[in-house]
Amino acid sequence: MNGSRLMGIGTYRPARLVTNDDLAKRVATSDEWVRSRTGIATRRIADTDETIVAMGSMAAEKALAAAGIDAAELDMVLLATCTNPSQIPGSGPQIAHRLGAVRAGALDINAGCAGFAYALSVASDMVRVGSARHVLVVAAERLSDYTDWDDRSTCILLADGAGAAVVGPAPTREIGPAVWGHDGGKAGAIRVPGYGDNLFRMEGQTVFRWAITLTPTVRRACELAGVAPSELAGVIPHQANLRIIDALVAGIGATNAVVARDVVESGNTSAASIPLAFSRILDGGQLRPGDPVLLFGFGAGLTYCGQVVRCP
């Protein structure tokens, strides 16, 4: 028993749907322009009561129900977010408290859009080594709190939402070894400067170039898991932009895989995008339990992480 597995996934999508036409009322853009540059048609924007803690907790409750375990059985709660309302306190302990995860440790992980994949890797390793039996990974984001609604290059991309997954023990490694790395030298390419300037900025072309050249790394995650790219049933990259997804996936050779394109409906929800996209494909019945699926997160840091997992 030295493996780990995904036991269940849950999500929360904010109620309010914002279209490209809605945004075109505020900034000079159009539905055609946004769709051709990003693939995005709609996105969800959270209301004031749909906080990181509220959205994360609701996604977590669904994940726990899907996994068939009680919050009291959790040994650890890991929250991946880069959009906490403030630096102090973190939101992970509040989610653990709200869920009733009375004996769990709790902490936040900020790895930008790669946060879910990193947190999943940490959770998997905790379970494998035995320091935890059940770990809850939550990814919750409110990018709208940091969006410059007058910057048409970024406000069209950013969105809100939450996803969660329960990780538990398994006889084999259903959550494969992670590949990870960073280019901290490009830290300024995606940033909220802070010190009074709390708006999201991005050097889109720099990020695009970095992301589409990560294909060999993505293939490496398949190699480590012993799964040929052609055997993948699904590919779920971070939902940044459809152009990045298409360019990145084209080089992998995942010829038989369903490729997640939740970005079209959900925009870029940073760390939450992978569980949101994963859940949409599972709900659509396009994957079966045990199917190998590649997850790959990349973004602010710059940093990336990915792994092949078996569907719950």
Partner 1 sequence: MSQSDILEGLAAILEEVAGVDPADVTADKTFIDDLDVDSLSMVEVVVAAEEKFDVKIPDEDVKSLKTVGDAVSYIQRAGVAA
What is the smallest separation between the CB atom of 153 and partner 1, expressed in angstroms?
10
Q: How many residues bind partner 1 (CB under 8 A)?
A: 11
Nearer to partner 1, 97 or 243 (CB): 243
Q: Nearer Cβ to partner 1, position 131 or 213? A: 213
Figure out which of the listed residues 205, 285, 288, 289 binds partner 1, where binding follows CB under 8 A: 205
Closest to partner 1 by CB, 213 or 255: 213
Residue 181 engages partner 1 in binding (rule: CB under 8 A): no
Is residue 36 near partner 1 by the rule CB under 8 A? yes
Q: Shortest distance, CB of residue 203 to partner 1, whole angstroms? A: 8
What's the 3-state SS for the chain? CCEEEEEEEEEECCCEEEEHHHHHCCCCCCHHHHHHHHCCCEEEECCCCCCHHHHHHHHHHHHHHHHCCCHHHCCEEEEECCCCCCCCCCCHHHHHHHHCCCCCEEEEECCHHHHHHHHHHHHHHHHHHCCCCCEEEEEEEEHHHHCCCCCCCCCCCECEEEEEEEEEEECCCCECCCEEEECHHHHHHEECCECCECCCEECHHHHHHHHHCCHHHHHHHHHHHCCCHHHCCEEEECCCCHHHHHHHHHCCCCCCCEECCCHHHHCECHHHHHHHHHHHHHHCCCCCCCCEEEEEEEECCCEEEEEEEECC
Q: Is 198 a catalytic residue?
A: no
Phi, psi of 97, deg, nearest 5? -65, -50
One of 107, 199, 228, 247 touching partner 1 (CB under 8 A): 247
209 touches partner 1 by CB under 8 A = yes
Decide if 268 is catalytic.
Answer: yes
Active-site hit among 110, 238, 241, 305: 238
> Which of these ranges, 55-63, 204-212, 227-235, 285-293, lies near partner 1 under the rule CB under 8 A?
204-212
Shortest gap between Cβ of 117 and partner 1 (angstroms)? Answer: 23
Residue of 41, 107, 199, 212 interacting with partner 1 (CB under 8 A): 212
**Interaction between residue 213 and partner 1 (CB under 8 A):** yes
Centre a 10 Å sphere on the Cβ of residue 2 and count the other Cβ atoms it contains.
Answer: 12
238 is catalytic: yes
Considering only the stretches 41-49, 175-183, 207-215, 264-272, report the one whose residues sit in contact with partner 1 under the rule CB under 8 A. Answer: 207-215
Active site members: 113, 238, 268
- Residues near partner 1 (CB under 8 A) are 36-37, 204-206, 208-209, 212-213, 243, 247
